[in-house]
Chain A
Amino acid sequence: MSRTSRNFVLAYIFLVGLPLIGLAGVLRSGRHLAAPVSVDGTWKVEAVSSGKTSTCAAVSTFLSAPVVISQSGRNLVVTFGNGRSAVPGALEDNSVKTSIPVDGDSGTQCGQAILTSVVDPKSSPRVMSGQLAFLGCPSCAPFAFHAVRQPKTQGGGGH
Protein backbone atom coordinates (compact mmCIF):
# COMPACT_ATOMS: atom_id res chain seq x y z
CA MET A 1 0.00 0.00 0.00
CA SER A 2 1.46 3.39 -1.01
CA ARG A 3 1.93 6.16 1.52
CA THR A 4 -0.89 8.22 -0.06
CA SER A 5 -3.29 5.29 0.13
CA ARG A 6 -2.30 4.59 3.75
CA ASN A 7 -2.87 8.23 4.67
CA PHE A 8 -6.23 8.14 2.91
CA VAL A 9 -7.32 5.04 4.85
CA LEU A 10 -6.17 6.54 8.15
CA ALA A 11 -7.90 9.85 7.43
CA TYR A 12 -11.05 7.98 6.40
CA ILE A 13 -11.11 5.96 9.62
CA PHE A 14 -10.43 9.03 11.73
CA LEU A 15 -12.81 11.44 10.00
CA VAL A 16 -15.62 9.13 8.88
CA GLY A 17 -15.45 5.90 10.88
CA LEU A 18 -14.99 7.36 14.36
CA PRO A 19 -17.72 10.02 13.97
CA LEU A 20 -20.14 7.29 12.87
CA ILE A 21 -19.41 5.37 16.07
CA GLY A 22 -20.04 8.63 17.93
CA LEU A 23 -23.35 8.98 16.10
CA ALA A 24 -24.41 5.52 17.23
CA GLY A 25 -23.57 6.53 20.81
CA VAL A 26 -25.57 9.76 20.54
CA LEU A 27 -28.62 7.95 19.15
CA ARG A 28 -28.39 5.42 21.95
CA SER A 29 -28.04 7.94 24.77
CA GLY A 30 -30.71 10.23 23.31
CA ARG A 31 -33.37 7.55 23.67
CA HIS A 32 -33.50 8.30 27.38
CA LEU A 33 -34.25 11.99 26.87
CA ALA A 34 -37.72 13.20 27.75
CA ALA A 35 -39.40 15.82 25.58
CA PRO A 36 -42.40 17.93 26.64
CA VAL A 37 -45.79 16.28 26.33
CA SER A 38 -47.31 16.80 22.88
CA VAL A 39 -50.29 19.17 22.78
CA ASP A 40 -49.87 20.20 19.15
CA GLY A 41 -52.97 19.87 16.99
CA THR A 42 -56.66 20.63 16.85
CA TRP A 43 -58.70 20.26 20.02
CA LYS A 44 -62.46 19.92 20.21
CA VAL A 45 -63.64 21.78 23.29
CA GLU A 46 -66.76 21.00 25.28
CA ALA A 47 -68.22 22.72 28.31
CA VAL A 48 -68.31 20.76 31.53
CA SER A 49 -71.77 21.34 32.97
CA SER A 50 -71.57 22.78 36.45
CA GLY A 51 -75.00 24.28 36.83
CA LYS A 52 -73.66 27.80 36.30
CA THR A 53 -73.74 29.54 32.94
CA SER A 54 -71.24 32.11 31.89
CA THR A 55 -72.44 35.28 30.26
CA CYS A 56 -69.05 36.26 28.90
CA ALA A 57 -68.76 36.60 25.13
CA ALA A 58 -65.36 34.98 25.29
CA VAL A 59 -66.94 31.68 26.26
CA SER A 60 -69.06 31.49 23.13
CA THR A 61 -66.03 32.44 21.03
CA PHE A 62 -64.05 29.75 22.80
CA LEU A 63 -66.68 27.11 22.11
CA SER A 64 -67.56 28.23 18.58
CA ALA A 65 -64.64 26.51 16.86
CA PRO A 66 -61.91 24.00 17.69
CA VAL A 67 -58.84 25.33 19.46
CA VAL A 68 -55.64 24.89 17.45
CA ILE A 69 -52.33 24.59 19.28
CA SER A 70 -49.03 24.96 17.48
CA GLN A 71 -46.20 23.65 19.65
CA SER A 72 -42.46 24.25 19.68
CA GLY A 73 -41.16 22.54 22.79
CA ARG A 74 -42.72 24.37 25.74
CA ASN A 75 -43.71 27.38 23.61
CA LEU A 76 -47.20 27.36 22.21
CA VAL A 77 -49.32 29.44 19.87
CA VAL A 78 -53.00 28.93 20.71
CA THR A 79 -55.57 29.90 18.08
CA PHE A 80 -59.23 30.44 18.93
CA GLY A 81 -62.39 31.18 17.00
CA ASN A 82 -61.31 29.94 13.55
CA GLY A 83 -58.11 31.95 13.53
CA ARG A 84 -59.69 35.16 14.85
CA SER A 85 -57.34 35.24 17.82
CA ALA A 86 -53.87 33.68 18.14
CA VAL A 87 -52.05 34.11 21.43
CA PRO A 88 -48.78 32.79 22.81
CA GLY A 89 -48.95 30.17 25.52
CA ALA A 90 -46.67 27.99 27.57
CA LEU A 91 -46.47 24.39 28.65
CA GLU A 92 -45.44 23.90 32.27
CA ASP A 93 -45.06 20.20 33.03
CA ASN A 94 -48.38 18.92 31.72
CA SER A 95 -50.25 22.21 32.07
CA VAL A 96 -51.17 24.49 29.19
CA LYS A 97 -51.30 28.15 30.22
CA THR A 98 -52.31 31.11 28.13
CA SER A 99 -53.98 34.45 28.45
CA ILE A 100 -56.68 35.52 25.99
CA PRO A 101 -57.71 39.13 25.50
CA VAL A 102 -61.53 39.33 25.62
CA ASP A 103 -64.25 41.83 25.01
CA GLY A 104 -66.85 41.34 27.68
CA ASP A 105 -70.59 41.67 27.27
CA SER A 106 -72.06 45.11 27.47
CA GLY A 107 -71.66 46.47 30.94
CA THR A 108 -68.68 44.32 31.80
CA GLN A 109 -65.06 45.33 31.53
CA CYS A 110 -63.39 41.96 31.05
CA GLY A 111 -59.78 42.51 30.10
CA GLN A 112 -58.52 39.00 29.68
CA ALA A 113 -59.23 35.37 30.35
CA ILE A 114 -56.65 33.01 31.79
CA LEU A 115 -56.75 29.50 30.36
CA THR A 116 -55.25 26.75 32.48
CA SER A 117 -55.63 23.10 31.61
CA VAL A 118 -53.97 19.83 32.45
CA VAL A 119 -53.11 17.29 29.76
CA ASP A 120 -53.41 13.59 30.43
CA PRO A 121 -50.19 12.28 28.79
CA LYS A 122 -51.36 8.65 28.83
CA SER A 123 -54.70 9.21 27.12
CA SER A 124 -55.28 8.27 23.51
CA PRO A 125 -56.65 10.34 21.86
CA ARG A 126 -55.04 12.91 24.10
CA VAL A 127 -57.41 14.82 26.39
CA MET A 128 -57.10 17.82 28.61
CA SER A 129 -59.37 19.49 31.10
CA GLY A 130 -59.17 22.92 32.61
CA GLN A 131 -60.87 26.24 33.05
CA LEU A 132 -61.11 29.79 31.76
CA ALA A 133 -60.96 32.37 34.51
CA PHE A 134 -61.87 35.99 33.74
CA LEU A 135 -59.83 38.78 35.27
CA GLY A 136 -61.50 42.03 36.33
CA CYS A 137 -64.90 40.69 35.50
CA PRO A 138 -66.88 39.73 38.61
CA SER A 139 -70.02 38.88 36.63
CA CYS A 140 -68.27 36.18 34.58
CA ALA A 141 -67.89 32.93 36.46
CA PRO A 142 -64.92 30.66 35.74
CA PHE A 143 -65.78 28.25 32.97
CA ALA A 144 -64.71 24.60 33.11
CA PHE A 145 -64.03 22.67 29.90
CA HIS A 146 -62.85 19.34 28.56
CA ALA A 147 -60.99 18.99 25.25
CA VAL A 148 -60.13 16.05 23.01
CA ARG A 149 -57.37 16.21 20.39
CA GLN A 150 -58.61 15.44 16.90
CA PRO A 151 -56.77 12.86 14.79
CA LYS A 152 -54.33 14.29 12.27
CA THR A 153 -55.21 14.09 8.62
CA GLN A 154 -51.57 13.48 7.60
CA GLY A 155 -49.24 10.83 8.99
CA GLY A 156 -46.43 11.97 11.21
CA GLY A 157 -45.66 13.27 14.60
CA GLY A 158 -46.83 16.45 16.19
CA HIS A 159 -46.82 20.01 14.90
Chain B
Amino acid sequence: MPNLFTLTLQLAVVLAICRVVGELFRRIHQPKVVGEMFAGIMLGPSLLGWIAPHASAYLFPTSSLGFLNALSQVGVVVFMFLVGLNINPGELKKESHAAVLTSHVSITAPFVLAAFLALYLYPRLSDDSVAFTSFALFMGSAMSITAFPVLARILAERDMLGSRLGTVAIACAAVDDVTGWCILAYIVVLIRSAHSATSIWWTVAGILVFGLAMIHGVRRLLRGFARVYEKKGALSENLMALMLLLVLASSLLTEYLGIHLLFGAFLMGAIMPKDHHFVRYVLDRFETITVTLLLPLFFAFTGLRTNIGLVKGPQMWMYCALIIFVATAGKLGGSTLASWLSGMPLREAAGLGTLMNTRGLMELVILNIGLDIGVISPALFSMMVIMALFTTFMTTPVLRLIYGKEMDEIAASKIIAKPAAAALNQSYVA
Protein backbone atom coordinates (compact mmCIF):
# COMPACT_ATOMS: atom_id res chain seq x y z
CA MET B 1 0.00 0.00 0.00
CA PRO B 2 1.31 3.47 -0.80
CA ASN B 3 1.99 5.82 2.07
CA LEU B 4 -0.76 8.36 1.35
CA PHE B 5 0.98 11.17 3.24
CA THR B 6 4.18 10.73 1.19
CA LEU B 7 2.28 10.42 -2.09
CA THR B 8 0.18 13.52 -1.43
CA LEU B 9 3.28 15.46 -0.36
CA GLN B 10 5.03 14.38 -3.56
CA LEU B 11 2.06 15.50 -5.68
CA ALA B 12 1.98 18.88 -3.95
CA VAL B 13 5.72 19.51 -4.25
CA VAL B 14 5.91 18.38 -7.88
CA LEU B 15 2.89 20.46 -8.84
CA ALA B 16 4.20 23.58 -7.09
CA ILE B 17 7.77 23.34 -8.43
CA CYS B 18 6.61 22.59 -11.99
CA ARG B 19 4.21 25.55 -12.02
CA VAL B 20 6.79 27.96 -10.61
CA VAL B 21 9.65 26.87 -12.89
CA GLY B 22 7.31 26.63 -15.89
CA GLU B 23 6.19 30.22 -15.28
CA LEU B 24 9.80 31.40 -14.92
CA PHE B 25 10.70 29.78 -18.24
CA ARG B 26 7.69 31.34 -19.89
CA ARG B 27 9.02 34.73 -18.83
CA ILE B 28 12.26 34.06 -20.70
CA HIS B 29 10.21 33.21 -23.83
CA GLN B 30 10.52 29.44 -23.44
CA PRO B 31 7.56 27.07 -23.67
CA LYS B 32 6.25 26.24 -20.20
CA VAL B 33 6.87 22.55 -20.84
CA VAL B 34 10.64 23.18 -21.04
CA GLY B 35 10.49 24.68 -17.55
CA GLU B 36 8.53 21.70 -16.28
CA MET B 37 11.09 19.30 -17.74
CA PHE B 38 13.80 21.32 -16.01
CA ALA B 39 11.83 21.27 -12.73
CA GLY B 40 11.73 17.47 -12.90
CA ILE B 41 15.53 17.34 -13.17
CA MET B 42 15.79 19.75 -10.21
CA LEU B 43 13.79 17.37 -8.02
CA GLY B 44 16.05 14.41 -8.79
CA PRO B 45 19.53 13.37 -7.69
CA SER B 46 21.08 15.95 -10.01
CA LEU B 47 20.08 18.86 -7.77
CA LEU B 48 17.83 18.16 -4.74
CA GLY B 49 19.47 14.80 -4.04
CA TRP B 50 22.86 16.43 -4.37
CA ILE B 51 22.39 19.53 -2.22
CA ALA B 52 19.88 18.09 0.28
CA PRO B 53 20.13 14.29 0.26
CA HIS B 54 18.11 13.89 3.47
CA ALA B 55 15.26 16.04 2.20
CA SER B 56 15.34 14.12 -1.07
CA ALA B 57 15.27 10.76 0.73
CA TYR B 58 12.36 11.98 2.89
CA LEU B 59 10.37 13.33 -0.06
CA PHE B 60 11.10 10.55 -2.55
CA PRO B 61 11.88 7.36 -0.59
CA THR B 62 12.77 4.48 -2.90
CA SER B 63 9.74 2.49 -1.72
CA SER B 64 7.38 5.23 -2.95
CA LEU B 65 8.72 5.56 -6.48
CA GLY B 66 6.66 2.66 -7.85
CA PHE B 67 3.42 4.51 -7.07
CA LEU B 68 4.73 7.76 -8.48
CA ASN B 69 5.77 5.94 -11.64
CA ALA B 70 2.38 4.22 -11.98
CA LEU B 71 0.54 7.55 -11.71
CA SER B 72 2.89 9.25 -14.16
CA GLN B 73 2.52 6.39 -16.66
CA VAL B 74 -1.26 6.78 -16.60
CA GLY B 75 -0.65 10.42 -17.50
CA VAL B 76 1.65 9.48 -20.37
CA VAL B 77 -0.90 6.95 -21.69
CA VAL B 78 -3.57 9.67 -21.86
CA PHE B 79 -1.02 12.13 -23.27
CA MET B 80 -0.05 9.73 -26.08
CA PHE B 81 -3.73 9.27 -26.89
CA LEU B 82 -4.04 13.06 -27.20
CA VAL B 83 -0.91 13.24 -29.38
CA GLY B 84 -2.36 10.57 -31.68
CA LEU B 85 -5.67 12.43 -31.67
CA ASN B 86 -3.91 15.52 -33.00
CA ILE B 87 -2.26 13.70 -35.88
CA ASN B 88 -4.44 13.89 -38.94
CA PRO B 89 -3.49 11.32 -41.60
CA GLY B 90 -5.60 13.27 -44.10
CA GLU B 91 -3.32 16.28 -43.72
CA LEU B 92 -0.22 14.13 -44.24
CA LYS B 93 -1.51 13.01 -47.65
CA LYS B 94 -1.57 16.63 -48.79
CA GLU B 95 2.17 17.04 -48.28
CA SER B 96 4.13 18.75 -51.02
CA HIS B 97 7.41 17.45 -52.41
CA ALA B 98 9.24 19.75 -49.99
CA ALA B 99 7.47 18.31 -46.98
CA VAL B 100 7.92 14.70 -48.12
CA LEU B 101 11.65 15.14 -48.71
CA THR B 102 12.18 17.20 -45.56
CA SER B 103 10.29 14.82 -43.32
CA HIS B 104 12.07 11.75 -44.67
CA VAL B 105 15.50 13.39 -44.51
CA SER B 106 14.78 14.69 -41.02
CA ILE B 107 14.41 11.04 -40.01
CA THR B 108 17.20 9.41 -42.02
CA ALA B 109 19.91 12.04 -41.39
CA PRO B 110 19.83 11.95 -37.55
CA PHE B 111 19.11 8.21 -37.65
CA VAL B 112 22.18 7.36 -39.74
CA LEU B 113 24.43 9.80 -37.87
CA ALA B 114 23.23 8.33 -34.57
CA ALA B 115 24.04 4.83 -35.86
CA PHE B 116 27.56 6.01 -36.70
CA LEU B 117 27.84 7.51 -33.22
CA ALA B 118 26.63 4.19 -31.80
CA LEU B 119 29.76 2.55 -33.25
CA TYR B 120 31.76 4.80 -30.93
CA LEU B 121 29.50 4.78 -27.88
CA TYR B 122 28.49 1.11 -27.77
CA PRO B 123 31.82 -0.19 -26.39
CA ARG B 124 32.01 2.76 -24.00
CA LEU B 125 28.50 3.19 -22.58
CA SER B 126 26.75 -0.12 -23.15
CA ASP B 127 27.35 -3.75 -22.19
CA ASP B 128 27.13 -7.20 -23.72
CA SER B 129 23.52 -7.76 -22.62
CA VAL B 130 22.46 -5.34 -25.35
CA ALA B 131 22.93 -6.25 -29.02
CA PHE B 132 24.58 -3.57 -31.15
CA THR B 133 21.65 -3.57 -33.59
CA SER B 134 19.17 -2.76 -30.80
CA PHE B 135 21.49 -0.11 -29.38
CA ALA B 136 22.08 1.59 -32.75
CA LEU B 137 18.41 1.47 -33.77
CA PHE B 138 17.34 2.88 -30.44
CA MET B 139 19.86 5.72 -30.65
CA GLY B 140 18.62 6.39 -34.18
CA SER B 141 14.95 6.55 -33.26
CA ALA B 142 15.65 8.62 -30.12
CA MET B 143 17.60 11.17 -32.14
CA SER B 144 15.18 11.34 -35.05
CA ILE B 145 12.07 12.07 -33.00
CA THR B 146 10.52 15.54 -33.06
CA ALA B 147 8.36 16.74 -30.19
CA PHE B 148 5.18 17.26 -32.14
CA PRO B 149 3.33 18.78 -29.13
CA VAL B 150 6.15 21.14 -28.09
CA LEU B 151 6.77 22.18 -31.68
CA ALA B 152 3.09 23.01 -32.14
CA ARG B 153 3.18 24.90 -28.85
CA ILE B 154 6.18 26.98 -29.94
CA LEU B 155 4.53 27.73 -33.28
CA ALA B 156 1.29 28.66 -31.56
CA GLU B 157 3.03 30.94 -29.04
CA ARG B 158 4.87 32.68 -31.90
CA ASP B 159 1.64 32.83 -33.91
CA MET B 160 3.31 30.86 -36.71
CA LEU B 161 0.96 27.86 -36.89
CA GLY B 162 -0.73 29.10 -40.03
CA SER B 163 2.44 30.14 -41.85
CA ARG B 164 3.91 28.02 -44.65
CA LEU B 165 6.82 27.24 -42.33
CA GLY B 166 4.47 26.20 -39.55
CA THR B 167 2.34 24.00 -41.80
CA VAL B 168 5.33 22.17 -43.28
CA ALA B 169 6.91 21.80 -39.81
CA ILE B 170 3.71 20.28 -38.37
CA ALA B 171 3.37 17.84 -41.29
CA CYS B 172 7.04 16.80 -41.04
CA ALA B 173 6.87 16.40 -37.26
CA ALA B 174 3.78 14.20 -37.58
CA VAL B 175 5.52 11.96 -40.14
CA ASP B 176 8.63 11.83 -37.92
CA ASP B 177 6.66 10.83 -34.86
CA VAL B 178 4.67 8.10 -36.59
CA THR B 179 7.85 6.70 -38.18
CA GLY B 180 9.85 7.04 -34.97
CA TRP B 181 7.23 5.19 -32.96
CA CYS B 182 7.03 2.40 -35.56
CA ILE B 183 10.81 1.93 -35.40
CA LEU B 184 10.72 2.01 -31.62
CA ALA B 185 7.94 -0.60 -31.60
CA TYR B 186 10.18 -2.83 -33.72
CA ILE B 187 13.10 -2.37 -31.30
CA VAL B 188 10.94 -3.13 -28.26
CA VAL B 189 9.65 -6.30 -29.95
CA LEU B 190 13.21 -7.27 -30.90
CA ILE B 191 14.52 -6.86 -27.37
CA ARG B 192 11.55 -8.34 -25.54
CA SER B 193 11.38 -11.35 -27.86
CA ALA B 194 15.02 -12.12 -27.09
CA HIS B 195 13.96 -12.59 -23.44
CA SER B 196 10.64 -14.27 -24.12
CA ALA B 197 9.58 -17.79 -24.99
CA THR B 198 7.17 -16.52 -27.68
CA SER B 199 8.53 -16.44 -31.22
CA ILE B 200 9.10 -12.98 -32.70
CA TRP B 201 6.96 -13.98 -35.71
CA TRP B 202 3.92 -14.59 -33.49
CA THR B 203 4.46 -11.17 -31.96
CA VAL B 204 4.80 -9.51 -35.38
CA ALA B 205 1.73 -11.36 -36.70
CA GLY B 206 -0.26 -10.33 -33.62
CA ILE B 207 0.74 -6.68 -34.04
CA LEU B 208 -0.17 -6.72 -37.74
CA VAL B 209 -3.59 -8.22 -37.05
CA PHE B 210 -4.14 -5.72 -34.25
CA GLY B 211 -3.08 -2.77 -36.44
CA LEU B 212 -5.29 -3.83 -39.33
CA ALA B 213 -8.26 -4.43 -37.04
CA MET B 214 -7.81 -0.98 -35.51
CA ILE B 215 -7.42 0.86 -38.81
CA HIS B 216 -10.08 -0.96 -40.81
CA GLY B 217 -12.52 -2.08 -38.11
CA VAL B 218 -12.41 -0.11 -34.87
CA ARG B 219 -11.85 3.17 -36.74
CA ARG B 220 -15.29 2.88 -38.36
CA LEU B 221 -16.94 2.21 -35.02
CA LEU B 222 -15.24 5.25 -33.53
CA ARG B 223 -17.04 7.48 -36.04
CA GLY B 224 -20.06 6.95 -33.80
CA PHE B 225 -18.47 9.30 -31.25
CA ALA B 226 -18.22 12.08 -33.83
CA ARG B 227 -21.79 11.45 -35.01
CA VAL B 228 -23.17 11.78 -31.47
CA TYR B 229 -21.09 14.91 -30.93
CA GLU B 230 -22.34 16.38 -34.22
CA LYS B 231 -25.94 15.66 -33.23
CA LYS B 232 -25.89 16.74 -29.58
CA GLY B 233 -22.91 19.08 -29.41
CA ALA B 234 -21.49 17.09 -26.49
CA LEU B 235 -20.65 13.57 -25.35
CA SER B 236 -22.22 12.05 -22.25
CA GLU B 237 -20.09 10.97 -19.31
CA ASN B 238 -20.75 7.36 -20.26
CA LEU B 239 -19.40 7.95 -23.77
CA MET B 240 -16.31 9.70 -22.41
CA ALA B 241 -15.77 6.76 -20.06
CA LEU B 242 -16.18 4.39 -23.00
CA MET B 243 -13.57 6.34 -24.96
CA LEU B 244 -11.14 6.11 -22.04
CA LEU B 245 -11.91 2.43 -21.69
CA LEU B 246 -11.07 1.89 -25.38
CA VAL B 247 -7.75 3.72 -24.88
CA LEU B 248 -6.92 1.49 -21.93
CA ALA B 249 -7.99 -1.67 -23.78
CA SER B 250 -5.84 -0.75 -26.78
CA SER B 251 -2.89 0.01 -24.46
CA LEU B 252 -3.30 -3.30 -22.67
CA LEU B 253 -3.45 -5.18 -25.97
CA THR B 254 -0.21 -3.66 -27.27
CA GLU B 255 1.48 -4.37 -23.94
CA TYR B 256 0.20 -7.96 -24.10
CA LEU B 257 1.45 -8.27 -27.70
CA GLY B 258 4.94 -7.39 -26.53
CA ILE B 259 5.26 -3.75 -27.59
CA HIS B 260 4.40 -1.04 -25.08
CA LEU B 261 1.28 0.41 -23.51
CA LEU B 262 1.95 3.75 -25.15
CA PHE B 263 1.73 2.44 -28.72
CA GLY B 264 -1.86 1.32 -28.14
CA ALA B 265 -2.82 4.69 -26.70
CA PHE B 266 -1.14 6.53 -29.59
CA LEU B 267 -2.82 4.33 -32.22
CA MET B 268 -6.25 4.76 -30.63
CA GLY B 269 -5.78 8.52 -30.79
CA ALA B 270 -4.57 8.36 -34.39
CA ILE B 271 -7.66 6.48 -35.60
CA MET B 272 -10.16 8.70 -33.78
CA PRO B 273 -12.42 10.89 -35.98
CA LYS B 274 -10.58 14.06 -37.05
CA ASP B 275 -13.38 16.57 -37.18
CA HIS B 276 -11.77 19.72 -35.80
CA HIS B 277 -14.49 20.61 -33.27
CA PHE B 278 -14.72 17.02 -32.05
CA VAL B 279 -10.93 16.86 -31.54
CA ARG B 280 -11.02 20.17 -29.66
CA TYR B 281 -13.88 18.91 -27.47
CA VAL B 282 -12.07 15.69 -26.52
CA LEU B 283 -8.83 17.58 -25.88
CA ASP B 284 -10.63 19.97 -23.53
CA ARG B 285 -12.05 17.08 -21.55
CA PHE B 286 -8.80 15.20 -21.06
CA GLU B 287 -6.14 17.89 -21.14
CA THR B 288 -6.49 19.72 -17.85
CA ILE B 289 -5.86 16.88 -15.42
CA THR B 290 -3.26 15.29 -17.71
CA VAL B 291 -1.28 18.45 -18.29
CA THR B 292 -1.55 20.09 -14.88
CA LEU B 293 -1.10 17.05 -12.66
CA LEU B 294 -0.07 13.81 -14.35
CA LEU B 295 2.56 15.04 -16.82
CA PRO B 296 4.48 16.97 -14.12
CA LEU B 297 4.64 13.65 -12.25
CA PHE B 298 6.21 12.13 -15.35
CA PHE B 299 8.74 14.97 -15.48
CA ALA B 300 9.51 14.42 -11.80
CA PHE B 301 9.88 10.67 -12.26
CA THR B 302 12.16 11.23 -15.25
CA GLY B 303 14.15 13.71 -13.15
CA LEU B 304 14.48 11.15 -10.37
CA ARG B 305 16.01 8.74 -12.89
CA THR B 306 18.31 11.38 -14.34
CA ASN B 307 21.57 11.66 -12.50
CA ILE B 308 23.80 14.27 -14.07
CA GLY B 309 26.42 13.16 -11.53
CA LEU B 310 26.87 10.04 -13.67
CA VAL B 311 28.17 12.26 -16.46
CA LYS B 312 31.45 12.67 -14.61
CA GLY B 313 34.80 13.74 -15.96
CA PRO B 314 35.86 15.35 -19.24
CA GLN B 315 35.46 12.13 -21.21
CA MET B 316 31.81 11.65 -20.23
CA TRP B 317 31.04 15.32 -20.96
CA MET B 318 32.74 14.89 -24.31
CA TYR B 319 30.35 12.00 -25.08
CA CYS B 320 27.45 14.22 -24.04
CA ALA B 321 28.64 17.07 -26.27
CA LEU B 322 29.05 14.63 -29.13
CA ILE B 323 25.48 13.39 -28.67
CA ILE B 324 24.15 16.96 -28.72
CA PHE B 325 26.24 17.78 -31.79
CA VAL B 326 25.16 14.68 -33.73
CA ALA B 327 21.50 15.15 -32.77
CA THR B 328 21.56 18.80 -33.85
CA ALA B 329 23.61 18.26 -37.02
CA GLY B 330 21.35 15.40 -38.11
CA LYS B 331 18.03 16.98 -37.37
CA LEU B 332 18.64 20.70 -37.84
CA GLY B 333 21.24 20.24 -40.60
CA GLY B 334 19.39 17.48 -42.44
CA SER B 335 16.01 19.24 -42.40
CA THR B 336 17.54 22.57 -43.43
CA LEU B 337 19.44 21.01 -46.33
CA ALA B 338 16.46 19.01 -47.58
CA SER B 339 14.00 21.91 -47.47
CA TRP B 340 16.54 24.26 -49.09
CA LEU B 341 17.14 21.74 -51.90
CA SER B 342 13.36 21.50 -52.30
CA GLY B 343 13.24 25.19 -53.14
CA MET B 344 12.57 26.80 -49.77
CA PRO B 345 14.54 30.03 -49.13
CA LEU B 346 17.58 29.38 -46.93
CA ARG B 347 16.35 31.39 -43.98
CA GLU B 348 12.98 29.67 -43.96
CA ALA B 349 14.72 26.30 -44.40
CA ALA B 350 16.93 27.05 -41.38
CA GLY B 351 13.81 27.97 -39.41
CA LEU B 352 12.21 24.65 -40.34
CA GLY B 353 15.39 22.78 -39.36
CA THR B 354 15.41 24.55 -36.00
CA LEU B 355 11.79 23.64 -35.35
CA MET B 356 12.38 20.01 -36.30
CA ASN B 357 15.24 19.86 -33.80
CA THR B 358 12.76 20.29 -30.92
CA ARG B 359 12.57 17.02 -29.03
CA GLY B 360 11.05 17.86 -25.66
CA LEU B 361 8.62 15.60 -23.94
CA MET B 362 8.43 12.95 -26.70
CA GLU B 363 12.14 12.36 -26.29
CA LEU B 364 11.71 11.84 -22.55
CA VAL B 365 8.94 9.30 -23.21
CA ILE B 366 11.18 7.35 -25.60
CA LEU B 367 14.21 7.55 -23.29
CA ASN B 368 12.20 6.18 -20.38
CA ILE B 369 11.14 3.22 -22.53
CA GLY B 370 14.79 2.70 -23.48
CA LEU B 371 15.88 2.70 -19.85
CA ASP B 372 13.02 0.38 -18.88
CA ILE B 373 13.87 -2.23 -21.50
CA GLY B 374 17.56 -1.88 -20.69
CA VAL B 375 18.77 -0.77 -24.11
CA ILE B 376 20.48 2.33 -22.69
CA SER B 377 22.51 2.71 -19.53
CA PRO B 378 21.73 5.24 -16.76
CA ALA B 379 24.63 7.50 -17.79
CA LEU B 380 23.57 7.47 -21.44
CA PHE B 381 19.98 8.14 -20.33
CA SER B 382 21.18 11.22 -18.43
CA MET B 383 23.20 12.43 -21.44
CA MET B 384 20.21 11.99 -23.74
CA VAL B 385 17.97 13.89 -21.29
CA ILE B 386 20.50 16.74 -21.36
CA MET B 387 20.41 16.59 -25.16
CA ALA B 388 16.58 16.71 -25.14
CA LEU B 389 16.62 19.73 -22.83
CA PHE B 390 19.33 21.47 -24.83
CA THR B 391 17.74 20.96 -28.25
CA THR B 392 14.31 22.01 -26.99
CA PHE B 393 15.64 25.02 -25.12
CA MET B 394 17.63 26.26 -28.13
CA THR B 395 14.62 26.36 -30.48
CA THR B 396 13.15 29.73 -29.49
CA PRO B 397 16.44 31.71 -29.27
CA VAL B 398 17.72 30.22 -32.54
CA LEU B 399 14.44 31.00 -34.29
CA ARG B 400 14.69 34.56 -33.01
CA LEU B 401 18.30 34.70 -34.17
CA ILE B 402 17.32 33.54 -37.65
CA TYR B 403 14.27 35.73 -38.06
CA GLY B 404 14.58 38.61 -35.62
CA LYS B 405 11.55 40.87 -35.96
CA GLU B 406 10.55 39.14 -39.17
CA MET B 407 8.88 36.39 -37.12
CA ASP B 408 5.83 38.62 -37.05
CA GLU B 409 5.87 38.88 -40.85
CA ILE B 410 5.91 35.08 -41.16
CA ALA B 411 2.82 34.95 -39.00
CA ALA B 412 1.20 37.38 -41.42
CA SER B 413 1.79 35.04 -44.39
CA LYS B 414 -0.63 32.41 -43.12
CA ILE B 415 -1.97 29.89 -45.58
CA ILE B 416 -4.42 28.08 -43.30
CA ALA B 417 -7.53 29.40 -41.69
CA LYS B 418 -7.00 31.63 -38.68
CA PRO B 419 -9.68 29.93 -36.52
CA ALA B 420 -7.90 26.56 -36.83
CA ALA B 421 -4.62 28.11 -35.73
CA ALA B 422 -6.34 29.94 -32.91
CA ALA B 423 -7.93 26.73 -31.69
CA LEU B 424 -4.58 24.96 -31.71
CA ASN B 425 -3.09 27.93 -29.92
CA GLN B 426 -5.26 27.21 -26.88
CA SER B 427 -4.03 23.67 -26.67
CA TYR B 428 -0.98 22.41 -24.85
CA VAL B 429 -1.03 19.04 -26.52
CA ALA B 430 -1.91 20.26 -29.99
Contacts and interface: CB of A to CB of B under 8 A. Distances in A.
A73 B127 CA distance: 6
Contacts of A33: 119, 122-123, 132
Contacts of B371: 159
Given A4-B97, A27-B136, A34 B128 contact: yes
Given A16-B108, A27-B136, A157 B130 contact: yes
A77 B309 CA distance: 11
B8 interface: no
Given A15-B101, A72-B310, A77-B310, A155 B122 contact: no
Interface string B355-397: 0000000000000000111111111100000000000000000
A157 B373 contact: yes
A158 B375 CA distance: 7
A30 B140 CA distance: 14
Interface residues of A, number: 42
Contact of A155 (B119, B140, B196, B378): B196
A157 B366 CA distance: 16
B101 A35 contact: no
B112 A23 contact: yes
Interface SS of B by simple majority: helix
A72 B132 contact: no
Q: Which of A31, A72, A77: most chain B CB closer than 10 A? A: A72
Interface stretch (B15-23, B229-237, B263-271, B334-342): B334-342
A37 B379 contact: no
Contact of B129 (A4, A40, A75): A40
A57 interface: no
Contacts of A117: none
Interface string A95-118: 000000000000000000000000
B378 A72 contact: yes
Given A31-B133, A33-B119, A15 B337 contact: yes
A75 B319 CA distance: 14
Contact of B376 (A31, A35, A159): A159
Nearest to B338: A15
A4 B97 CA distance: 9
A129 interface: no
A154 to B, nearest CB: 7
Contacts of B101: 8, 11-12, 15-16
B195 A36 contact: no
Interface string B304-316: 0000001010001
Contacts of A19: 108-109, 111-112
B127 A70 contact: no
A136 interface: no
B94 interface: no
A154 B372 contact: yes
Contact of B108 (A8, A20, A38, A158): A20
Interface in A66-100: 70-75, 77, 83, 88
A26 interface: yes
A123 interface: no
A131 B227 CA distance: 71
Contacts of A138: none
B328 interface: no
A51 interface: no
A120 B51 CA distance: 39
Interface in A28-51: 29-31, 33-40
B195 A155 contact: yes
A37 B126 CA distance: 9
Nearest to A7: B341
Contacts of B134: 157
A47 B145 CA distance: 48
Interface in B106-156: 108-109, 111-112, 115-116, 118-119, 122-130, 132-134, 136-137, 140
Given A11-B101, A30-B122, A77-B310, 8 more contacts: A15-B101, A16-B108, A33-B122, A35-B123, A35-B127, A154-B374, A155-B192, A159-B371
Interface of A: 4-5, 7-8, 11-12, 15-16, 19-20, 22-23, 26-27, 29-31, 33-40, 70-75, 77, 83, 88, 121, 152, 154-159
